[in-house]
Structure 1
Amino acid sequence: MSEQLPDVQASSPDVTVGLSQVGVTGVEKLVKLARPDKRPIVLMAEFEVFVDLPSWRKGADMSRNMEVIDETLEAATRDEAYRPEDVCGDAAERLLEKHDYTTRAEVRMEAELMTREQTPVSDRETQSTVDIIAAATATEEGTREEIGARVVGMTVCPCSQGMSAARARNVLDDLGVDDETTEAFLDQVPQPGHSQRGHATLTVESEGAPEVDLEDIIEVARDAMSARIYNLAKRPDEDHMTYHSHANAKFVEDCVRSMAEDVAAKFQDLPDDAVVTMKQSNDESIHQHNAHAERVVEMATLRAELDAEH
């Protein structure tokens, strides 16, 4: 008769300190998202799975975590889930149920989504890449789910553009151009400014599933920057992107504030306790560092701040 193997993870630790997150990262799974009257979208998703650990327990049951996430994601792939945040919520609730020592379970997911769109002038079909972000946290009080996206765009620095405009005024003045004509010209022809590739991140978290559409989140994030960019671009499209980005120059802070304004206008049905995370990071073209700004805020606070402006 074989001797039963000891459950070392259930023993007491040498240092009795609780841990807020114990789990696994880098779990790759196929997730199939159903669409009405269309073929499903298949994503290669990467998951992070965590539970909290009480001070009296040495370790979490990693094999059980993997078993639960496997069961959940296999079911989601087989049954075609409609929303990635629901996949995370289902997994988090299963984790909470199967670990009797756990009071909090978290599941996070990221996946690359390919979208089709038309170029702005030549009207050619092209594909763009968007990073989907989904998450869920389950406790005895309920489950909060999060959905969002990280998108790429273009920004132009208003500061360097202002210096270029000042130089243009001086040159036009030396050429004898009157002030009214100079201002009319500068109004029609935006001056150069250093541009950079921008990365906008927008997520919404609420009790249960957020009442937002992922496509709307992507649109708000893309529109927060100076201009959208496209993988395929004919010369008229390149001219369109260059002109519109310089006509809409934005600091990294402006991008986050633009997101905030559009979130309040677009997602009016979100509850006051929904949490919105807005981030903008720019790959600076004339510096070795990057610029970053962000805001994490409840909808009630965001609405109050925006209402105070009017």
Structure 2
Amino acid sequence: MQQIDTISLKKLPSKEERHRLFGSVPPGEKKKPTEKSKMADLQNVKRDFLFDLDAVGVANVKYPVRVLSGQTPYEQTTIGTFTFSSSIPANSKGTNMSRFMELLEQYYQGGFTISIDELKQFTKDLANKLEQDDASVSVSFPWFYEREAPQTLASGLNHAEASVSVRYSKHEDYQINVSLKVQITTLCPCSKEISEYSAHNQRGNVTIETELESNFSNADDDWKVLLLEAAESNASARLHPILKRPDEKMVTEQAYENPRFVEDMVRLIAADLYELPSVLKFHVSCRNEESIHMHDAIASVTYDKRNGQG
């Protein structure tokens, strides 16, 4: 304190004066109404505005959510990143943006759970609130799942990036799309074939996007677990948060016994998805972060079971 007393301190202007110095001005005269009933409502203006709009809404909305899982931990809380929208006809100027957030807050107060059934009800409620014929919601979130080491059974949490999108229409069935981004290990078949010993491996990034049947429900299997198993069971090896030496030996030997190109990965995953009755259409992609190249290796496949085409 003695040291501060010996210093000559600058005398600053008051906070109000500082604000004026940096451009603040006194409030102007208020002439427009402050009551909602007397305010202009531009969004609800009806006129010919040239075109129907496919989607109008809000995006990059972050809110706490509850996630139920078919794999430990069975219940978890996380942050969901939302997009909400609806279509509007050409005779509507715009939408009421606040209504999207009002409904989200209402669901949050009731304990918003990211499930297919709850998102179906949310989109139906949203369409009614917006007085429109349709509404859509998309939400992405990190999903955590327990993984045990193969030999010592040491456990920890892995995570995948999950997303789900639900569209409601008064005149059509629900449209449900889900996706999962998973990391796996792949070992190069070519390297194994030509080398006297060893083979290079890499971390693979698998993205699975699917359209589910419109009647898919929470009572069915957890879609996150289904997509995770489709990716991991076809890899050279799974990733683990904790590996002791006996575990590492098992994982590296397993990878050596199950070499995979990116082409192999997407085809094998596609076969599993094809056999899932709830999956109507899928797109699978894999990107390998090559360990002996500076580039990545990629492959993808798209298939629609309704018409047998990509």
TM-score (norm 2): 0.75
Aligned to 2:21: none
2:154 to 124, 142, 166: 124
Tell me, in whole angstroms, the C-alpha distance in 1 between the residues paired with 2:69 and 2:300: 32
Q: Which has the larger helix fraction? A: 1
Residue 44 (structure 1) shift = 1.9
Q: Equivalent pairs: percent with the same residue?
A: 23
| Residues 271-290 of structure 1 mapped to structure 2, 5 A cutoff | 274-290=280-296
Tell me, in whole angstroms, the C-alpha distance in 2 between the residues paired with 1:291 and 1:12: 52
Aligned to 1:260: 270
Q: 1:87 to 1:259 in 2, by over 3 A?
A: same
Q: 1:233 to 1:74 in 2, by over 3 A?
A: same
Please, what is the CA RMSD of the aligned residues? 3.0
Tell me, in whole angstroms, the C-alpha distance in 2 between the residues paired with 1:2 and 1:73: 29
| Residues 217-256 of structure 1 mapped to structure 2, 5 A cutoff | 217-256=227-266
Letter of the 2:109 counterpart: E
Aligned to 1:108: 138
Q: 1:158 to 1:125 in 2, by over 3 A?
A: same
Query: Does the 8 Å contact 2:212/2:278 carry over to 1?
Result: no
Aligned to 2:222: 213
Query: Does the 8 Å contact 1:144/1:208 carry over to 2?
Result: no
Residue 2 (structure 1) shift = 5.8
Letter of the 1:132 counterpart: A
Tell me, in whole angstroms, the C-alpha distance in 2 between the residues paired with 1:151 and 1:255: 12
Q: 1:277 to 1:87 in 2, by over 3 A?
A: farther
Query: Does the 8 Å contact 1:160/1:193 carry over to 2?
Result: yes
Q: Which structure 2 residue ranges, 5 or more long, are not aligned?
A: 1-32
Aligned to 1:62: 97
Q: 1:84 to 1:282 in 2, by over 3 A?
A: farther
Tell me, in whole angstroms, the C-alpha distance in 2 between the residues paired with 1:139 and 1:25: 20
Which has the higher mean CA deviation after the structures are superposed, 16-25 or 2-11?
2-11
Q: Which structure 1 residue ranges, 5 or more long, are not aligned?
A: 169-188, 306-310
Tell me, in whole angstroms, the C-alpha distance in 1 between the residues paired with 2:108 and 2:174: 18
Q: Number of residue pairs matched?
A: 270
Aligned to 2:193: 162
Q: What CA deviation, in whole Å up to 9, does each residue of 1:212-270 have, x standing for no partner?
A: 423233212222322101111112222222222232222222111111222234x2x43
Q: 1:156 to 1:13 in 2, by over 3 A?
A: farther
1:142 to 165, 173, 187: 173
Tell me, in whole angstroms, the C-alpha distance in 2 between the residues paired with 1:35 and 1:156: 30
Q: What CA deviation, in whole Å up to 9, does each residue of 1:178-216 have, x standing for no partner?
A: xxxxxxxxxxx7x41342333342534221325442323
Aligned to 2:59: 25
1:299 to 298, 305, 308: 305
Q: What CA deviation, in whole Å up to 9, does each residue of 1:92-114 have, x standing for no partner?
A: 111222223x3432111111122
Q: 1:106 to 1:279 in 2, by over 3 A?
A: farther
Q: 1:122 to 1:35 in 2, by over 3 A?
A: closer
Give the secondary structure class of the aligned counterpart of 2:200.
Answer: coil
Q: 1:287 to 1:58 in 2, by over 3 A?
A: farther
Tell me, in whole angstroms, the C-alpha distance in 2 between the residues paired with 1:17 and 1:39: 46
Larger Rg: 2
Give the secondary structure class of the aligned counterpart of 1:58.
Answer: coil
Tell me, in whole angstroms, the C-alpha distance in 2 between the residues paired with 1:300 and 1:160: 39
Tell me, in whole angstroms, the C-alpha distance in 1 between the residues paired with 2:250 and 2:60: 40
Tell me, in whole angstroms, the C-alpha distance in 2 between the residues paired with 1:225 and 1:22: 40
Tell me, in whole angstroms, the C-alpha distance in 1 between the residues paired with 2:34 and 2:253: 76
Query: Does the 8 Å contact 2:179/2:207 carry over to 1?
Result: no
TM-score (norm 1): 0.75
Give the secondary structure class of the aligned counterpart of 1:60.
Answer: coil
